Structure 1
Amino acid sequence: MNKTPLFGRHEALGARIIDFGGWAMPVQYSNVIEEHHATRERVTLFDTCHMGEIDVSGPEALPFLQKALTRDLAALETGQMRLSLLVNEKGGILDDLTVYHFGGDRYRLVTNASTREKDYRWLLGIREQAGFRQVDIIDRSDVVGKIDIQGPRAEGILQGLVPVLLKSLTYYTFLETSVGSVPAVLSRSGYTGEDGFEVYMASGEAGLVWDLLLEAGRAQGIRPAGLGARDTLRLEAGMMLYGNEMCENVTPYEVVYGWLVNLEKDFIGRDALARQKREGIRRKLVGFQMEDRGIARHGYPVCRDGAVIGEVTSGTFAPTLQRPVGLAFVAPDCREPGTSITIRIRQSEARATVVPLPFYRKEKKNEFYNTFI
């Protein structure tokens, strides 16, 4: 398995390590629910060094990205970031990724860990097939480290380590600065539904930044958190996971990503998505909450009036809400909040209700449900 630069620290902290898409990652340090509540109420650190970073630059960088991605990036200013999608010719989602604009013709794409190599090959293929000669595409994932500090106390802790005023850093913006003596990029963003920052540095400096953040946050109750809490946090916030809610056979209109598609510009997959928008979808991702006991898991059938109408993509007990919730694909006529459904759990039917997303929203800003980013 691949190991992040922080693997030794996870072992020293007694983390339980699992294989996550070929990476040896901490799923929990003590207790998933405790780490979840610590994020909502105080502050936690997540090792996200396994994620991908691909730099795109050169005179044709913007035209290239306009061709490759579904979203119009022409107005993306220096220091801003945007969520966007790579889709294939059929409109299927190859990845949901974040685009950082470093100024001029310099951009960075931050990808999911499981799609990093696929994304890189896809981008190289577009450059070749579309004839872009003045764009450089470099996979920097092996030399860039990433740590997320999340929770209501994140700003105060990080502020003591940086020479810039973090209050001026608004949601989905970033800047180049330093953490302690380490050059870093800070973005106000995350995958938890809380305020927080994603911190990028040279991979060889990740351990130092991790130690600095833990020490600076000691009095504020900071603690590391693993993938288990990261999953319950993102699910409460209604955020999707590639491989669960998204794959190459799922389109943006079938999930919550229709707003990331700009059919006014040309991009790979545009014609297929324009056709689907005209003709309609055959399934839709919805949120649901359980009314009976039981937790719905990935792959469980969703039923209505005894007939299977879909499938669960993610499900968990939501610690903040104190009830089981989940995401599922259902027939379009069952998508409205208030619709009664059942989840087939071990040969029995457990009652559930379709509810609006997200399940939890502490801040008004949430990258999956606000179109301003």
Structure 2
Amino acid sequence: MDNLKRTPLYEVHLELKAKMVPFGGWEMPVQYGGIIKEHKAVRERAGLFDVSHMGELLLEGPEALAALQKLVTNDVSKIGIGRAMYTPMINEDGGTVDDLLIYNLGLNRYLLVVNASNKDKDLAWIKEHLTGEVDVVDKSHDYALLALQGPLSQQVLQSLTSLDLKEIKYYHFAMGAVAEVPCLVSRTGYTGEDGFELYCHPEEAEKLWRAILDTGRRHGVVPVGLGARDTLRFEACLALYGHELTEDINPLMAGLGWTVKFDKGEFIGKQALLSIKEKGVSHKLVGLKMIERGVPREGYAVAVDGQQVGWVTTGSYAPTLNANLALAYVKPEYAGNDTELDIIIRGRELKAQVVPKPFYKRNK
């Protein structure tokens, strides 16, 4: 794994005997004590993730808001100070450059959190399309990012901070110390559970990680790797760039029409999306549940009467639901709930059925 970047917690992961794998140009922990065990810990208690590989870009200047409005599909004017927003960023043809979080820091300053493998591409894209009095700077080296996710996350974290965590609503954030480490504390996550994402200086990451695990141990909190992160987000039907979203897939196909605000003014790709909306999408993202025995995987063909009508973007055994499930793009006429389709697994046509998304939704 030469030339791979490492997070500030690399040595801690080795100490915990994590299995390390390449991911998005980084050497990352895929599991510690087993993917299913870690998955269930997050669903039932809480788990701690190192997601410091994510990229952070600071966009600021008097015309920062106007610049962002042209760059992304969602309406950034709706983000108050201390709030965050999820949005795709698309190209002129409507394809997805990336999906990201935008934090409004105030004073015409916005923090953009982008996917690790897309950071350099995103930075170049943004710089190419910036206009007016605004600048963008890569601040990724100034941040480590930890995520505490699960039903006990607030209880565990509250014992380490004077911030009133119950006052931080979903997609809001506050600045404050956690275990005496200055943090941006955001009520966001990528697991389908309640939880927090903590942005801190890289030199403080180990102190914060150890404090959370030490405090959380009596509550059953465990470290969690990328393997369970993927099965958790998959059960919640949260898109993963490179799978459900690519430069060939637009947000309307992906079921993200709620993030596209046509009435906010011009933005890159708007005309392409209006045309797609008028004509109808070529494929729709659906959930599939296997009827016959087999595990669907990314890239497997979806067929009807031997003719391919789509493809699997993510497929896995879902531990919470004890079922083999898939996310797949299929032609619109086959996207209705209860429609039976075949997934081609090792040359065999195995029956599956379209089911509602998300597969899993927590009780709030």
Name the TM-score, length of structure 1 as normaliser: 0.95
Q: Identify the residue that residue 299 of structure 1 maps to in structure 2.
A: 299
Does 2:317 match 1:314?
Answer: no
Do 1:195 and 1:363's aligned partners in 2 also have CA atoms closer than 8 Å? no
Q: Identify the residue that residue 290 of structure 2 maps to in structure 1.
A: 290
Classify the secondary structure of the residue corresponding to 2:218: helix
Q: Identify the residue that residue 207 of structure 1 maps to in structure 2.
A: 206
| Unmatched segments (≥5 aa) in structure 1 | 365-373
1:160-175 → structure 2 map (5 Å cutoff): 160-175=159-174
Name the CA distance, whole Å, in 2 between partners of 1:142 and 1:352: 45
After superposition, give the CA deviation of every residue in 1:12-61 in whole Å (9 maximum; x if it has no partner): 10000001121100000011000000000011100000001111111010
Name the CA distance, whole Å, in 1 between partners of 2:109 and 2:175: 13
Q: Which amino acid aligns with 1:224?
A: P
**Equivalent of 1:126 in 104, 129, 133:** 129
Name the CA distance, whole Å, in 1 between partners of 2:217 and 2:258: 40
| Unmatched segments (≥5 aa) in structure 2 | none
Classify the secondary structure of the residue corresponding to 1:142: helix
1:242-257 → structure 2 map (5 Å cutoff): 242-257=241-256
Q: Which amino acid aligns with 1:75?
A: K
Q: Identify the residue that residue 65 of structure 1 maps to in structure 2.
A: 68
1:1-373 → structure 2 map (5 Å cutoff): 1-127=4-130, 131-132=131-132, 134-264=133-263, 265-363=265-363
Q: Identify the residue that residue 369 of structure 1 maps to in structure 2.
A: none
Q: How many residues align?
A: 360
Q: Which amino acid aligns with 2:49?
A: F
Classify the secondary structure of the residue corresponding to 1:252: coil
Name the CA distance, whole Å, in 2 between partners of 1:33 and 1:218: 18
Do 1:193 and 1:363's aligned partners in 2 also have CA atoms closer than 8 Å? no
Name the CA distance, whole Å, in 2 between partners of 1:307 and 1:290: 18
Q: Which amino acid aligns with 1:74?
A: S
Do 1:194 and 1:363's aligned partners in 2 also have CA atoms closer than 8 Å? no
Give the Å deviation of 1:328. 0.4
Name the CA distance, whole Å, in 2 between partners of 1:148 and 1:75: 25
Q: Which amino acid aligns with 2:326?
A: G
Among all aligned residue pairs of Structure 1 and Structure 2, give the percentage whose two residues are the same amino acid.
45
Q: Which amino acid aligns with 1:60?
A: E
Name the CA distance, whole Å, in 2 between partners of 1:75 and 1:307: 45
After superposition, give the CA deviation of every residue in 1:62-120 in whole Å (9 maximum; x if it has no partner): 00000111111112111111101110010100111011111231111111111111111
Do 1:49 and 1:145's aligned partners in 2 also have CA atoms closer than 8 Å? yes
Give the Å deviation of 1:161. 1.0
Classify the secondary structure of the residue corresponding to 2:359: coil
Q: Which amino acid aligns with 1:179?
A: V
Name the CA distance, whole Å, in 1 between partners of 2:105 and 2:31: 34
Q: Which amino acid aligns with 2:249?
A: V
Name the CA distance, whole Å, in 2 between partners of 1:13 and 1:214: 12
Do 1:54 and 1:108's aligned partners in 2 also have CA atoms closer than 8 Å? yes
Name the CA distance, whole Å, in 1 between partners of 2:184 and 2:68: 21
Give the Å deviation of 1:122. 0.6
Give the Å deviation of 1:268. 0.6
Name the CA distance, whole Å, in 2 between partners of 1:180 and 1:213: 8
Q: Which amino acid aligns with 2:95?
A: G
Do 1:53 and 1:141's aligned partners in 2 also have CA atoms closer than 8 Å? yes
Name the CA distance, whole Å, in 1 between partners of 2:314 and 2:288: 10
Q: Which amino acid aligns with 1:215?
A: D
Q: Which amino acid aligns with 1:314?
A: T
Give the Å deviation of 1:363. 4.0
Which has the higher mean CA deviation after the structures are superposed, 72-81 or 353-362?
Answer: 72-81
Name the TM-score, length of structure 2 as normaliser: 0.97
Name the CA distance, whole Å, in 2 between partners of 1:302 and 1:288: 10
Classify the secondary structure of the residue corresponding to 2:211: helix
Give the Å deviation of 1:136. 2.0
- Alignment RMSD: 0.9
Ranges of 4+ aligned residues in structure 1 off by more than 4 Å: none
Q: Which amino acid aligns with 2:88?
A: L
